[in-house]
Structure 1
């Protein structure tokens, strides 16, 4: 009995020691989020700067192909609304698909979630962002983050002509508190001239009765994708949805916990295109990318992150941007899982 008691005691001591060691190791791996600084961001940026050489700037829209592949920026808005920037933070680029989370918010605010999602799904996808998916079978887009769903979402915003686009632009300006934000007319014209796949999706949905208007509605989608901003603006957008739709300066005019949950869940499910599943495993944060090279990230209840590097991987996501986010998430234990 004495030997057994000793054995159990030894096991208990070993187990306790193992758990304590694990706790120490875990504590060493993750830093206090309040210690984030521009120096932190700059260290991560420089570590990942060279990833641009492994990707390619989007050129299927000719104007996007003119972006400087070496440009890179990293921004964080902390829990208190303080902004940290490093890199080419004054460099402007177009939102592209990141605008989809804003149009979703505007449409749901106007029509309600049930009305919008009666016409599309909450599904993820293993297909690229511009895939027709099941449009020709069920007639409904898989989700509002793929092009088809985003085109439909924008068409559901009330107003004639460019009014739906102006509502999206105004919301971007409000969230970022940046009234100078405009859309890039050259990129818009380039998108319109080459957007034949998007036009095809528009007319399939028009044929199935999901869309009733004319190509003005598609033009609004091209314009919203052409809205220009900076990595700092993206960090502010990430902060907004991370904090129940409260702006980084505390303005709570649009505070809506349910809206934040809807948008963040779509970002997590489909925000990184067909890479979303793997991204959830590695980064574990609601994020939305755009082929302009930007990614906005929400750390629920905490911070917003914005990155920019126009050299993209095969999925259409910023390569250096992804790795900067990954390093920050690991260093500070930011994953929601």
Structure 2
């Protein structure tokens, strides 16, 4: 069966592809970016990545680097040590605002430039080059490949780094920064010039979503570190639009002026969007719309909690050739669980074999899961399969009804799968 996720993401980009905003023009190299680039990627915790659009185009990570360097600073110095130098309060200011606490001289939070420059300086390394080497190594581990610096972006940004240099000297003056301000700004600028794709960012976000665990089971960051980073991303990651973002989208996020935008849904997925045109807050304008639509379509808002803590398991039944293929589901079905089911259905070869979806242990099917499962049924039918549903509680609507638009009762190519009360009945009817 052909995977529906990539098709959905392609349609999503078409819907959210209105052209507005402007590229960042205060950095000459970024001003030359193609404003029409648009890409999205979703990475699951076990390493599956879905993408659409200009997913292979590289761009500079910019401020999306901030949460990851903050994580490394906490790893090196401990949370208390970092909090002595950098606060975690939303500033309500633009990303490059000179914003310090009057009483302590601490930057308001690590997501604005003042806090990010201070966080960069707290990473251990012995000297500036070794410090950056450790930062790049972390980014590469999170992305699952070796990343590099776009030297053109680095030089261009360093040539226009007067404001960041002023922030660094101010931090030095109040005692927050101990190292040479010029060295720190040079390293911070290099950090922002690391080249990534939207798929790299989705993988990096997914590792945060997995409590710091990479898809291969390697621990990259400690759970306490990821919790701190995600908390600050939720309240401060979108600058002076953070409050509006958290209430409407409800996903911890971080943006960058090259047009990148990541979101982390703890325990579920990492998401990234790339579109260079920025809104008045310095966030990708189309990227924001893509996230708004994803959150609404897939029920990803953090405050949209499930009714219970039931676990969901998919236990495939292995059968001999010619016998029905059985996919058993249990618990509450949301986006993440249904994505795993669809991935299992993708392995079904084309042909006239019988596929049974057993929902008799399912307690609840969320709207996004219902749409995904019905799309899976439709695509199995297109491949030639006979699909049988074990759905004694009627959790799915009639599968011959198109639920893509409210009120649309157009039959799905005349095919109506049979619904059974038990797995035994479904197998018997199909000759199993």
Regarding TM over 0.5, the answer is yes
1:47-66 matches, cutoff 5 A = 47-50=15-18, 53-66=19-32
1:27-176 matches, cutoff 5 A = 37-50=5-18, 53-134=19-100, 138-158=104-124, 159-176=126-143
User: What is the DSSP-based 3-state SS (H/G/I as helix, E as strand, rest coil) of the residue aligned with 1:278?
Assistant: helix
User: What is the DSSP-based 3-state SS (H/G/I as helix, E as strand, rest coil) of the residue aligned with 1:269?
Assistant: helix
Q: 1:36 to 1:167 in 2, by over 3 A?
A: farther
Question: Is 1:251 the equivalent of 2:217?
Answer: yes
Q: 1:36 to 1:207 in 2, by over 3 A?
A: farther
**Hey, what does 1:281 align to over in structure 2?**
247
User: What is the DSSP-based 3-state SS (H/G/I as helix, E as strand, rest coil) of the residue aligned with 2:88?
Assistant: coil
Specify every segment of 5 or more residues in structure 2 that has no aligned partner in the other structure, as ranges.
304-432
Contact 1:162–1:216 (CA under 8 A) maintained in structure 2? no
Contact 2:168–2:185 (CA under 8 A) maintained in structure 1? yes
Alpha-carbon distance in 2 for matches of 1:255, 1:161: 22
Per residue, is there more strand in 1 or in 2?
A: 2
**Hey, what does 2:164 align to over in structure 1?**
198
Alpha-carbon distance in 2 for matches of 1:279, 1:111: 30
RMSD: 1.3
Larger RCO: Structure 1 or Structure 2 (Cα < 8 Å, ≥ 6 residues apart)?
1
Deviation at 1:136, TM superposition (A): 6.2
User: What is the DSSP-based 3-state SS (H/G/I as helix, E as strand, rest coil) of the residue aligned with 1:211?
Assistant: coil
User: What is the DSSP-based 3-state SS (H/G/I as helix, E as strand, rest coil) of the residue aligned with 2:262?
Assistant: strand
**Hey, what does 2:311 align to over in structure 1?**
none
Contact 2:132–2:187 (CA under 8 A) maintained in structure 1? yes
Contact 2:45–2:209 (CA under 8 A) maintained in structure 1? no
Specify every segment of 5 or more residues in structure 1 that has no aligned partner in the other structure, as ranges.
1-34
Per residue, is there more helix in 1 or in 2?
A: 1
Query: Per-residue displacement from partner, 1:35-76 (whole Å, max 9, x unpaired)?
Result: 9700111111111112xx320000111111011000010000
Deviates more, 1:221-230 or 1:189-198: 189-198
Deviation at 1:135, TM superposition (A): 5.7
Question: Is 1:218 the equivalent of 2:170?
Answer: no
Match of 2:208 among 205, 223, 241: 241
Contact 1:74–1:231 (CA under 8 A) maintained in structure 2? yes
**Hey, what does 1:5 align to over in structure 2?**
none
Alpha-carbon distance in 2 for matches of 1:130, 1:292: 15
Match of 1:229 among 192, 196, 199: 196
Deviation at 1:137, TM superposition (A): 6.1
**Hey, what does 1:290 align to over in structure 2?**
256
Alpha-carbon distance in 2 for matches of 1:81, 1:173: 15
Contact 1:93–1:292 (CA under 8 A) maintained in structure 2? yes
User: What is the DSSP-based 3-state SS (H/G/I as helix, E as strand, rest coil) of the residue aligned with 2:128?
Assistant: coil
Contact 1:97–1:225 (CA under 8 A) maintained in structure 2? yes
Alpha-carbon distance in 2 for matches of 1:36, 1:244: 27
Query: Per-residue displacement from partner, 1:244-273 (whole Å, max 9, x unpaired)?
Result: 0111x2332225221111111111011111
**Hey, what does 1:14 align to over in structure 2?**
none
Q: 1:36 to 1:104 in 2, by over 3 A?
A: farther
Alpha-carbon distance in 1 for matches of 2:246, 2:150: 32
Alpha-carbon distance in 1 for matches of 2:285, 2:151: 26
Query: May I ask how many residue pairs the two structures share in their alignment?
Result: 299
Alpha-carbon distance in 2 for matches of 1:203, 1:136: 16
Alpha-carbon distance in 2 for matches of 1:229, 1:212: 30
Contact 1:136–1:204 (CA under 8 A) maintained in structure 2? no
